[in-house]
Structures are given as structure tokens and as C-alpha cells.
Amino acid sequence: MSFPDGFLWGFAIAANQAEGAWQAGGKGPCQADVMKWDPSVDPHDIAMITSREQLEAALADTEGVYPKRDGIDFFHTYPADLDLLAGMGANAFRTSINWARIFPRGDEPEPNPEGLAFYDALIDKLNAVGLKPVITLSHYEMPLALITEYGGWANRQVLDFFNRYADLVVDRYSGKVAYWMGFNQINTGLMDPYLALGLLEDEVGSITQAKLQATHHQLLANAHLVATVHRVDPQARAGSMILDMTAYPASTRPEDVLAVQKADQEVFYAADVLVRGEYPGWFAPYCAEHGIELQISDADAALLAENVSDYLAISYYVTRVIGANRASILDSTGWNVLGDLPNPHLPSTRWGWQIDPTGFELALLKLADRYPGVPILIAENGLGNIDVLDADGRIHDDYRTEYIRDHVAAMRRAVAQGVNVAGYLVWSGIDIVSASSNERTKRYGFVYVDLDDQGNGTARRIPKDSYDYFRQVATSNGRMS
């Protein structure tokens, strides 16, 4: 079976993990620029920022390695990189606009023309090589001044700044973008309030209240984006993305199964708002029970109801195992709340990410049941691994080929059962910097970039064995997999 006509096959990256050039062309510092590479950290841990001191120390640090500041220098190398990626016969490419290139502080009355000029050229290049742009507006690139001077997304003024930025770029790139995506993994602010919401945990009082209020503002921003796109760029689609975290019960004990149901509510509540236009029924009672008072006006509710997303994007990497004694992600922070319990039936990567293609089929079937008819865009799926440059000058990454083959097969089974999947974008096409560990050696690409964690190397681009495999998948519309 092949996939529907017009199915998107391509790649996904984020500006902050690839572009580098963190101070070029008038760009301001953003969230990701202060994330430090630390070789002493256990690979299972995810680096987090929780305080203003950490931010200030990072900005003042002249010794440490901050890999996202240099990325893979995609800011300068994108023309050749995109030629190489287009050579796989793909038809789509997801990247983000770095908000801090357009508004270096976030609150300026006028945009930075040099930042706009960069994205003018990048988006034109994507279209020229036949890669339909899927453009994320917020992927861990909030200008730092909006965090240190405004308190991040908990402050409603930030919503106004974001809307102005969104209106500007939608208008400017109207007719050139296939999918507008407001937020990367809009539900991950629950685990990582700094990176996704710009909150400094030790300054916000009730973290649960701050996370939910800040996420509400992002949901409003998504609704505003949908309205703008429908008005200005009606042939494009608008929406946002969640991290899918399909869960299995730790046992057949009813309490464990109930825990999975509650975990699903937390994972999907933001998607419920995006796609259904209203908060789910359990949400208000939960807030009342926990003394959480959110500012959600009638006008907010109307905006959400009137501007539901055209599609739902997901990233899918892992499934998790949950028991009755799990920690809720609503009232705690840290990615460890996701780790939950290991699944003895699944292999794991070095970083403890369990590989589960059948879980991918399950995730897609569940989404189709939860949101009937809503197109699902796979905005990220891929394998992070340490690749070795062999003596023959090649990278023999059979494990990546196998991973993609098994996940495409799972997706095919879901499509055959009626799930409306719009496309499959592999994270990350070309090696970039890891979001969670700030390593360059946690590689996801079909194209190897000869740089190590500290940025040493030739930066030469070398197609891996999986490059040839994915070319066969993309050019045959998934028949060959």
C-alpha cells in the first residue's frame, strides 16, 4: 500500500538547534542560547534551567560550551544543506523562525530587518528545491528579555508581543508556507516550564498555576494564529503540536489502568483545546480542587471556540509505563516524571528512550478516536544515536534504517485502518544539537555533520547509509519501506 497523494515526506529541525550565529544580524539571546553542554551529566537526565542566577551565570560564562550558539552553522550553510536534503526526493521541511532574530528583545515596536532578510531567503530556498515549508513560530526561541523583564508566558503582555510577531511573519510569507505551526510540543511546558514557557520556577509562586496560565496564553496565541492564517493565507493550514506520550499500565490492577487514564488527560488537555476549542470537563473541577485560579475570560473562551486548529501535529519517540503511584505532571516539573517505569519488552537507546513502533500505531489509532477526522501531522520521529565514521568514510547506520522502516510500517498500518495522517517528518534529516542534552553526538540525521560536542571538526556533510534508504521511501511515496 502506498500513502495518499500529497502525503508529506520530509525532515524537521529547529532554528535554535541548527542555525548557530547566535549574535549575527542583530539577533537577541534566546532561551536555548544559555543551555550548557555538560559531559558529567548522566545521559538519562535532561538539562533544565530553573532560576535567574543560572541564566545570568550562563550569559557571563566565558569558559563553558553552549552548543546551540553555534549549532551546525545552518545560518550560513543552509543552501548546500537543503540541496543535499532535497536530494532524498522529499517534499517537506519543518523548521522554526527564531523569534529573537525578528524581535531581539521581543517588545520592540519594529522588527529587525536583517532577521527578516534571513528567513526571506531561507523560505524562498525551501520552495525552490521543492521542500514545502512547515514553519514553527515557537520552538524554545523566546527572546530572553521576555523572561527576565516580563516573566515569560505567564504574563499576558507576552501574548500581545507574540501575536504581533505572528501577524508579521504570516503576512510576509503568505503563499509560501504549507503549514503554520504556532508551538512546538505545547504540552511540554508542564515538564519544562523554562524551555517551553519561559518561566523561572523559583519566581512564580504556584508552579501549577503559572504553567496552566502560561499554557492558556499559548493556546490563545494559537487561536489568534489560526484566525490570522485563515484571513491572510487561506491555502495554508494552521495549528500546533503536542508531544505524544502514549502510556501503558504497569499492571492489570485497576488502579494502574486508572492512572493511565489520568495521565492521558494531562497529556492531551492542550490538544483538546486546540482541536475541540474548549477545555475538557475534568479541567475546571481539577483547578477548583487544587485552589488554582486561572484568568480565562468569556472572550478567551470564544476565541478558542471559534478558531480550532486545521490539524494536530505530534512528535512521537517513546511510550511510557505508568503505575498508580506516578507523579502528576500538572503539579511537578522535570522530565523524570515521564520516565515512570521501564518497559521490559522494549529496547532502549543509550539515553533510555524506549523504541516502540507498535506504540506508534497505537498512538495514531487513539488520536483518530479522540479527534475524529482531524489530520495528524507527524512533525517529529527519529532515532538519536552515536554514529561512527567508518574507515571507508561512510556511516553504516543500519539501526536508523531499521527504526524508520519499523515506524513507517506502523504508520502504514494506522493509515490502512483509516487514520488521517498528513505527513511524516523525520527528526532531523541532518545532524544538529540535541534539545535535551545539548550534545552534537546525539545524532538523528540522514546526513552526518563532522562536528563533536565541543564544536571541533571539519563540519563536512556526509550522507549516511540511511540517506539512500530514506530516498527510496520518499520517492516511492512510502511503498518502498
The binding site for ligand BG6 (CB under 6 A) comprises 14, 17, 184-185, 243, 315, 380, 384, 427, 434-437, 442
Q: 434 with 391: CB under 8 angstroms?
A: no
Closest alpha carbon to 317 in 283, 284, 348, 274: 348
Nearer to ligand BG6, 14 or 159 (CB): 14
Q: CB 292 → ligand BG6: shortest distance, Å?
A: 26
Query: Which residues lie below 8 Å from residue 104, measured CB to CB, with a gap of 6+?
Result: 26, 27, 28, 112, 115, 143
C-alpha to C-alpha distance for 250 and 235, rounded to whole angstroms: 45
Q: In the complex, what is the shortest distance from the CB of residue 284 to ligand BG6, in angstroms, rounded to a whole number?
A: 29
- CA–CA dist 119, 124 (Å, integer): 8
The total number of residues shown for the chain amounts to 481
Q: Quote the least distance from Cβ 128 to ligand BG6, whole Å.
A: 26
Cα 383 from Cα 442, distance rounded (Å):
9
Judged by beta carbon, residue 184 or residue 213, the one nearer ligand BG6 is 184
271/275 Cα distance (integer angstroms): 6
User: What are φ and ψ of residue 420, in 5° steps?
Assistant: -90, 90
DSSP state of 405: H
Residue 357 CB, shortest distance to ligand BG6, in Å, is 17
Given the complex with ligand BG6, which of 443 and 461 has the nearer CB atom?
443
Nearer to ligand BG6, 326 or 443 (CB): 443
Three-state secondary structure along 53-115?
HHHHHHHHCCCCCCHHHCCCCHHHHHHHHHHHHHCCCCCEEEEECCHHHHCCCCCCCCCCHHH
Between residues 50 and 437, which has the closer beta carbon with respect to ligand BG6? 437
Smallest gap, in angstroms, from Cβ of residue 82 to ligand BG6? 19
Q: Which is nearer to ligand BG6, 112 or 437 (CB)?
A: 437
Which ranges of 104-232 does DSSP label H, i.e. alpha helix?
113-128, 144-148, 156-172, 193-197, 207-232
Across 265-409, the runs of DSSP E, i.e. the strands, are 311-315, 320-322, 376-380
| Nearer to ligand BG6 (CB atom), residue 246 or residue 315 | 315
Q: Among residues 22 and 283, whose Cβ is nearest to ligand BG6?
A: 22
In the complex, least distance from residue 302 CB atom to ligand BG6, rounded to whole angstroms: 30
Q: Which is nearer to ligand BG6, 196 or 263 (CB)?
A: 196
- Closest approach of ligand BG6 to the CB of residue 243, in Å: 6
The residue among 141 and 233 lying less far from ligand BG6, judged by its C-beta, is 141
In angstroms, how far is the first alpha carbon of the chain from the final one? 10
CB of 22 to ligand BG6, least distance (A): 16
Q: Report how far residue 100's alpha carbon sits from residue 15's, in angstroms, rounded to the nearest whole number.
A: 11
Least Å distance, CB 99 to ligand BG6, is 15
Residue 154 corresponds to which amino acid?
A
Please give the Cα distance from 468 to 466 (Å, whole number): 5
Nearest to 227 by CA among 169, 167, 174: 167
Closer of 71 and 143 to ligand BG6 (Cβ): 71
| Residue 240 Cβ vs ligand BG6, minimum distance, rounded to whole Å | 12
Smallest gap from residue 268 Cβ to ligand BG6 (A): 16
Sheet holding 461-463, edge to edge: 429-430, 445-449, 461-463
Q: What is the CA radius of gyration of the chain?
A: 21
Cα distances (angstroms) measured from residue 359 to each of 318, 384, 448, 478: 8, 18, 28, 20
CB-nearest residue to ligand BG6: 436
